[in-house]
Amino acid sequence: MRKVVRIAAIGAATALLAGLGWAQPSTIPNGPSGENSSLASLRSYDQLLKALESAVHTSGGAATLHYAPYTSNTGRKVPYVVIGKGPTAALIIAQQHGDEMETSDSAVNLVRDLANNSQASQVIRNSLTVVVVPRVNVDGFDGEKPDGTPLTDASGNTVPWRQNYDPRFTVNPLPAFYTRGRGYDINRYHAFRPECPFDNPNYPNLTTGVTSCETKDIDSKGPYLVSEGNPVPEAKNVRWLNDQYKPVMALDMHHQGTRVHDGQMVTASTLYPTAVDTAVRLQAVDPTALARFNAGQTMAKRVVVVIAQKLAQYPYANLSRYPGGTEPGISRNAYGLLGSGSVLLELRGGIATKSGGYIQKIGYHASMAILDELAKDPTLGGFSPDLADVLVVPANGVPPSGGQGETEEDDPDHLGG
Ligand SMILES: [Zn+2]
């Protein structure tokens, strides 16, 4: 019986290979082709740097490659590209979570196209200064030990994983949003107070005014919080870019793999800043906090409307409102509290088949649509913020506060991107 099955399987495989041989092009520029072509473009750290260097080199000065001020904990530099010299800044970041690979490709493709000499790209470069960080979390994707082998955590897991690499803590009490013997969730460590770029955003003292950057109630949380401030270099890099460029729009791209829709459809979710409770608390000591947050949230809702109208053109993209959390250290919330139109775009779909290509395309199309519109009007005044919750409805009709719709069972703190 087993033998029969095996022969049948070999027969089927042979037929499949013959079919593929017929269908495949004779030259394959990026390695294996066919349905798995998206996997071939997931770049190692060195390949990512080379891809960015190449895009910048061929841009004739339209794009420049830089490195953020804080190196990762394995000593890697975090690259970012600046395209254009326009008066309005836009910030696009991808892959804060090391195991969310596809959005990094969207960002690299965006860099390439923004740097080319098409008229559309020239219009954007004249109007905007676009800052792209294709891989915030360079260690969590393919970080290496000094001997060149992949990073491992205290439980023996190897990269890629969600967190950065900072394995110092193995006994309770552990820091907030920290995985034992591995590292921090970067997307809970973005400092949100204007005067305090080195805050640990999980323990801010919101009662002492804008110029005091003390943390509160730290004795019970472990000594590492007392002296260190923000312990996450990758989050400090993004905050530094925000402060350097003061972007009117900040897009944070995430990707969650799932087998449910693999090869058929991608579910895209988006959300604007929701940290209104923090804005209200800040207002007591910073009279500009609430107005700043409201301006950021309104702009973010306009960006959401742009995304919704663009993705409506693509039948494989099913856009919903992400049921995200209100933690102020989530980038969507932190940069909103700092006054930026800060938006999460989370894409779902497997990476091994067709949907992987769709994920890249959706991230690319959404980003490019936002930049096109910002280049025409940096206020996005033609897009009503009131439409954000009309066009982008909760997944499965579950309101955001319900939260069930998009929770990852094995990773319950993922809400918020
Ligand atoms: Zn994520």
Q: Cα–Cα distance between 365 and 38 in angstroms, integer? A: 16
Q: CATH classification of 37-414 is 3.30.43.10, yes or no? A: no
Global pTM value: 0.85
Report DSSP state, residue 152.
B
Cα 43 to ligand 1 centre (Å): 18
Cα 414 to ligand 1 centre (Å): 7
pLDDT in tens, 168-204: 999 888 888 999 999 999 999 999 999 899 988 888 7
Cα 99 to ligand 1 centre (Å): 8
pLDDT in tens, 58-67: 999 999 999 9
Confidence at residue 216, expressed as pLDDT on a 0 to 100 scale? 57
Distance set, CA 168 to CA 139, 149, 174, 188 (Å):
15, 19, 10, 18
Residue 150 forms beta bridges with which residues?
Answer: 144
Confidence at residue 4, expressed as pLDDT on a 0 to 100 scale? 38
| CB distance 333 to 273 below 8 Å | yes
Name the residue ranges covered by the structural domains of the chain: 37-414
Cα 187 to ligand 1 centre (Å): 8
Binned at pLDDT 50, 70 and 90, residue 210 comes out as low
Cα 384 to ligand 1 centre (Å): 28
Cα 25 to ligand 1 centre (Å): 35
Cα 123 to ligand 1 centre (Å): 31
Cα 96 to ligand 1 centre (Å): 7
Residues in the chain: 417
Ion ligand 1 nearby residues (CB, 5 A): 97, 100, 254
Cα 415 to ligand 1 centre (Å): 9
For the chain, percent of residues with pLDDT exceeding 90:
61
Cα 320 to ligand 1 centre (Å): 16
Of 86, 65, 81, the closest CA to residue 129 belongs to 86
Binned at pLDDT 50, 70 and 90, residue 247 comes out as very high
Listed in sequence order, the DSSP H helices in 221-353 are 224-228, 233-245, 276-283, 289-311, 331-337
What is the rounded average pLDDT of the residues 312-327? 88
Confidence at residue 301, expressed as pLDDT on a 0 to 100 scale? 98
What is the rounded average pLDDT of the residues 37-59? 84
For the chain, percent of residues with pLDDT exceeding 70:
76
pLDDT in tens, 347-359: 887 655 556 677 7
> For the ranges 110-114, 206-210, 404-408, which has the lowest average pLDDT?
404-408
